[in-house]
Amino acid sequence: MKRLICIACDHAGYELKEKLKVKLSSAGEEIKDFGTNSPEPVDYPDYVHPLAEYVEENNNTVGILLCGSANGMAMAANRHEGIRAAICWNKEIASLARRHNDANILCVPARFVSDPEAYEITEAFLNSSFEGGRHEKRVKKINPSAEKAVK
């Protein structure tokens, strides 16, 4: 099943973003690239906010953000009410972020994971679904308006 995956990065995540795009596209995924488009230094919020707004407005999409530590990108993305961005450095954390927290944006610390690890993290995130149940009420408490974004 083809789905839309939004992706963005700063200069530290550029190389990995390009590799992930190829891998995801070859697996049949549709990619919407929000930049950056070179390894030249940039300000990550300039790329995070358009992606987060898009994911927030389009419930059936997920996002992937890549930067050196993933911290700044996660902080910026989580300023958006309908976003639950999770920093994930292994596949177990990525799966739990989706299953228990209904994360809709994956933040990968490009300087701290290998390419194969990044692929595994991304696959685990994309192939996991929110379990609901006991987790649903917790997710709703993250932000009072998050209730509208819970699927």
> What does the chain come to in residues?
151
Question: Which range marks the domain in which residue 134 is found?
Answer: 4-149
Please confirm, yes or no, whether 67 is among the known catalytic residues.
yes
Both tokens assigned to 12: 């530290």
Per annotation, catalytic residue among 9, 11, 80, 100: 100
pLDDT tens by residue, the chain, 151 residues? 568 999 999 999 999 999 999 999 999 999 999 999 999 999 999 999 999 999 999 988 999 999 999 999 999 999 999 999 999 999 999 999 999 999 999 999 999 999 999 999 999 999 999 877 778 878 887 876 645 544 4
The CATH number covering residue 129 comes to 3.40.1400.10
Q: Residue 38: what are its φ and ψ, rounded to 5°?
A: -165, 170
Per annotation, catalytic residue among 67, 80, 88, 107: 67
Total tally of structural domains belonging to the chain? 1
Q: Exposed, middle or buried, 109 (CB in 10 Å: 0-12/13-18/19+)?
A: buried
